Chains A and B, each alone.
Chain A
Amino acid sequence: MERATREVFWNVSLVWFFYTLSALAIGAFVLGAYRIVSIWRRGWKDSRRGKPSASLSRTVADGLLNRKIFRNDRIAGLMHLCIMWGFIVLFVGTVLLTIHHDVAPFLFGTTFLVYSLVLDIAGLVLIVGVTTALVRRYVIKARPMNNLFDDGVVLVALLGIAVTGFALEGLRLTALEPFQDDWSPVGTAFAAILDGLPGQPQAWHGVIWWTHAAVSLGLVIYIPLSKLFHMFAAPTNIYLAAAEAATLTLEEREKLVGDFERTQMVSFDACTKCNRCENVCPSFAAGEPLSPRGFVLNVKAFARRKYGIETRLPGKARESVTALQVGDMIEEDAAWWCTTCRACVEECPVSISPMDVIRETRVAQMADGRKVPPTVRDMLRTMSKHNNPWEAGGSKRSRWRQELGAKDLSAGDEAEVCYWISCIASDDLRNQEVARAFIQVLSHAGVDFAHLGKEEGCCGEFVKRLGEDGLFEAIVENNYATFAAYGVSDLVTTSPHCFHTMRRDYPALREKLNIDGAPQLHVRHHTAAIADLLESGKLTFTRRLDSRVTFHDPCYIGRHNGLYEQPRRVLRALPGVELVEMPRSRENSFCCGGGGGRMWLESTADQRMAEIRVREAAAVKVDVLVTACPFCMSNLHDAAKTAGYAEVMEVRDIAELVAEAL
């Protein structure tokens, strides 16, 4: 028997014409890809390099295996794996066939049979994936999407290519009866179906072959013009993505040319508008005018307009484009709504950080100054004058601090650990109770601690999130000087925001600014400190609390710093406390609305994030909604009242429960 193989271009005339079209399509693709990559290169370069092994394993997990698409949605994960791998295998199959036909024939016998079987399976897998996508997107509407024209084009084109491919195989098999020895189960099935067509299979084959070729080559051209380019941009972005955006000093920033960091420019093209970020965005959920997806795409449009190669064509008014500011192209005040809760970053399947992109546009808006919301403007001015965000001058807060009865470094006391009280716990009545409770816990455990008294200023965390990096730099330098003066290096704080910025932002600036004598900080959040005390047996509980509680994960200890277990360990250890979880907890926790400077912005939306969250807590029927953040406390405490739960549910800090059980 003749060895099994396949005649390439069977029944096809004008093969040269097909080659010409292919060359043109590839040319168009290269031009389109160059256009995008040249925009990427207009971003500035972050000098930090992640560990290649970590970058690589992330690229394999998130890129090749779609790990994060599976997160919270298995069907979506399977669907995308089918489309992606179906597409990859079919593409490789086409390349192999080209090699077989034009370079070195090798698809004979068993090799050919395995080849045709694998391609048959890949085609079927692609059809299953694309069909699922079409059904989810347009029929059952699995989750809120923002359907644009190219979403439909891409799916229909892929489906068309797969189906016409099988039709061609089926017609070829029909025409070449009796069937060769062939491992093409799907092709054979199509042959059986198409057997009933009137006329010659060759005639049908010719028409469908050119259709298949046209759609395929069209798709090649369409890749860099549509979201399909994510097949290159997404893995690139996943590989390049850093856990945190780069910290830049004012001096470094003055030397920068461009509006965004290079990987951020890549990330705009990695976005497929899958809308997962919008689905988890608390601001969007509350009906505020921010969509992380919309924001990223707006900024992408901005980058295209300012940096696209079109702007270099002769006769274009270049000046107007080069002067283009990112603020000119984002609608109204979108950048200011972000709570920097990191839900979008956690959720994005391709490692985009809308949160950092938003902060970067805030930096630009700060430099311009005209669109900074007046409440934020006033707070920043107060901050730069009084070293705290609330005008309540130093004297009032230092009096309160003196009344705490704890040691005070500014009064000459000494201690091993510094309790950084935070501004909000010093000025807000409800949070003052939390500070007192934590002091009670520390004292009970015999910790040698003191606070900074009148010398404690603001940590500046929200100044950084709001994009006023110059002021933040001044604050950091000032605080390092205080730490050096009072010999402070070991800190514990009740605010996740102070904790986060001292743990993440301070060391980066300390290194870059070369701050003289600045100590290396060891900062702990009070949930972790209490968990440690518990573990070392320093806390003995004598009172039963008898209550059913749930824990609201503050974004800045949870998603930003991964402290999920510590608070839960503490709560489970409290006598008589039953801990239940809300549907959205840990990585999926829903922000109270207080981060990112939002404490200084009034929402005009109908709903408040904190009210949504309080309702969620009430739905699991708890007596106490426990949190561990002064902003969460303020917002949730207010929301419990305004949403009508004040009588049935308390909002308390974890330190208060611990203190009560002592």
Chain B
Amino acid sequence: MDIIVCVKRVPDLAEADIVIDRSQRDIEKDDLVFDINEWDNYALEEAVLLKEKLGGTVTTITLGDEDAEEVLRRALAVGADNAVHLDDAAFAGGDAYATAKALAAAIREMPYDLVLAGAQAGDDGYGQVGATLAELLGIPHATLVTSLEVDGKIARVRRELEAGLEEVMELGLPAVLTIQTGINEPRYVSIAGIRRVARREIDVRKASDLGLSAAEVGAAGSKTEIEKLSLPPAAQKGDILEGSTAVVAEKLAAIFASKGWLG
């Protein structure tokens, strides 16, 4: 069972103060800390768990500048066998389509039974790379996968729908699956673990290595363009009820009643 996992290095935005930069098309990243995309972390764990169960190899692939190497190191520490880094100035500024095109060109040349990717990325949040990649590779896909079993040449998956519904489906392999958080408990990656793989070789490829011209990838090869970013309006300040417990409870009950929440 050979598995390819697509990973991405993204800024950690959960608690960050987000500031839009002067171009108005991106955010200030200087004070942000970066890490592996949360969804990709689950995809990586799922791949390594499958390898531990069924044998085979895990190859991890990323597209990004030289800093992106750190997520590949992390993936190697988790248990990936190989790491491929698509690193070329031409790749910069690409949308989901351009990214998927570069990934597809690299993956097409490798042996694989399964391609896993995070359901979306924590920064741009397109949620399209996985599906586009499947289309370009000409193989089936399932998105938002919450459980995965491989049985011979069949993958049995559950995928998340709206309103708590789930869909159970079977796909013939090879296939692309985009992984939802919570599918597993990703292991901890210690500093010692990352040090252990510090000298492992990483396969770096440029656009030309993939047979792609600069016009086909990155911003030039994209189908969408960001015109302007804006922050959502700040939420209204909440009311703080004051007084003794009894008084507060009464005020709260009155509010609930006025909203019609008390039946």
**Chain A residues in the interface with B (C-beta under 8 A):** 250, 253-254, 366-370, 372, 374, 376-377, 380-381, 384-386, 391-393, 395, 468-471, 473-474
Contact = CB atoms under 8 A, between A and B. Distances in A.
A372 B15 contact: no
Given A366-B192, A367-B192, A393 B187 contact: no
A473 B191 contact: yes
Nearest to A472: B191
Given A369-B188, A469-B192, A470-B194, 4 more contacts: A370-B187, A381-B188, A385-B12, A393-B15
A391 B195 contact: no
Interface of B: 12, 14-17, 33, 35, 78, 185-196
A471 B12 contact: no
18 contacts: A250-B192, A250-B195, A366-B188, A366-B192, A369-B188, A380-B188, A381-B35, A381-B188, A384-B191, A392-B15, A393-B15, A393-B16, A393-B17, A470-B190, A470-B192, A470-B194, A471-B191, A473-B191
Contact of A395 (B17, B188, B190): B17
Nearest to A251: B195
A256 to B, nearest CB: 11
Contacts of B16: 393
Contact of B14 (A367, A368, A391, A474): A391
A250 B15 CA distance: 31
B83 to A, nearest CB: 18
Interface of B is mostly: loop
Nearest to B78: A369
- Interface centre among B35, B192, B193, B196, by most chain A C-beta atoms within 10 angstroms, is B192
B190 A468 contact: yes
A369 B190 contact: yes
A385 B15 CA distance: 12
- Interface centre among B16, B17, B189, by most chain A C-beta atoms within 10 angstroms, is B189
Contacts of B190: 366-367, 369, 468, 470-471
B193 A369 contact: yes
B225 to A, nearest CB: 31
A475 to B, nearest CB: 10
- Interface centre among B78, B190, B195, by most chain A C-beta atoms within 10 angstroms, is B190
Contacts of B192: 250, 253-254, 366-367, 469-470
Nearest to B186: A377
Contacts of A372: 187-188
B34 to A, nearest CB: 8
Contacts of B35: 381, 385
Nearest to B14: A391
B14 to A, nearest CB: 6
Contacts of A376: 188
A366 B189 CA distance: 8
A368 B14 CA distance: 27
Contact of A474 (B17, B33, B191, B196): B191
A376 B35 CA distance: 17
Contacts of A368: 187
Nearest to A384: B191
A376 to B, nearest CB: 8
A392 B15 CA distance: 7
Contact of A374 (B185, B189, B193): B185
Nearest to B187: A369
Given A385-B12, A386-B33, A395-B17, A470 B191 contact: yes
A522 to B, nearest CB: 29
B190 to A, nearest CB: 5
Contacts of A250: 191-192, 195
- A-B pairs, top 7 by smallest CB distance, nearest first, are A470-B191, A369-B187, A372-B188, A369-B188, A377-B188, A385-B33, A470-B192
- Interface centre among B12, B194, B196, by most chain A C-beta atoms within 10 angstroms, is B12
A420 B236 CA distance: 37
Nearest to B35: A385
Contact of A470 (B33, B186, B195): B195
B44 to A, nearest CB: 12
A146 B17 CA distance: 56
A385 to B, nearest CB: 4
Contacts of A254: 192, 195-196
A471 B185 CA distance: 21
A468 B191 contact: yes
- Interface centre among B17, B186, B188, B191, by most chain A C-beta atoms within 10 angstroms, is B188
B28 to A, nearest CB: 14
A470 B194 CA distance: 10
Nearest to B12: A385
B32 to A, nearest CB: 10
Contact of A367 (B15, B78, B193): B193
B171 to A, nearest CB: 27
Contacts of B186: 377
Contacts of A473: 191
A254 B14 CA distance: 35
A367 B192 CA distance: 7
A375 to B, nearest CB: 11
A364 to B, nearest CB: 10
Contacts of B196: 254
A254 B195 CA distance: 10
B68 to A, nearest CB: 16
Contacts of A369: 78, 187-190, 193
- Interface centre among A254, A385, A468, by most chain B C-beta atoms within 10 angstroms, is A385
A523 to B, nearest CB: 25
A176 to B, nearest CB: 73
Contacts of B195: 250, 254, 470
A250 B193 CA distance: 10
A322 to B, nearest CB: 18
Contacts of A471: 190-191
B198 to A, nearest CB: 11
B77 to A, nearest CB: 8
A600 to B, nearest CB: 12
A366 B193 CA distance: 9
B232 to A, nearest CB: 19
B114 to A, nearest CB: 21
Contacts of A384: 191
A97 B194 CA distance: 64
B180 to A, nearest CB: 17
Contacts of A386: 15, 33
- Interface centre among B15, B35, B196, by most chain A C-beta atoms within 10 angstroms, is B15
Contacts of B188: 366, 369, 372, 376-377, 380-381
A250 B17 CA distance: 34
A472 to B, nearest CB: 9
A391 B193 CA distance: 23
A513 B171 CA distance: 53
Nearest to A474: B191
A381 B74 CA distance: 12
Nearest to A393: B15
A647 to B, nearest CB: 14
Contacts of B78: 369
Nearest to A395: B17
A390 to B, nearest CB: 9
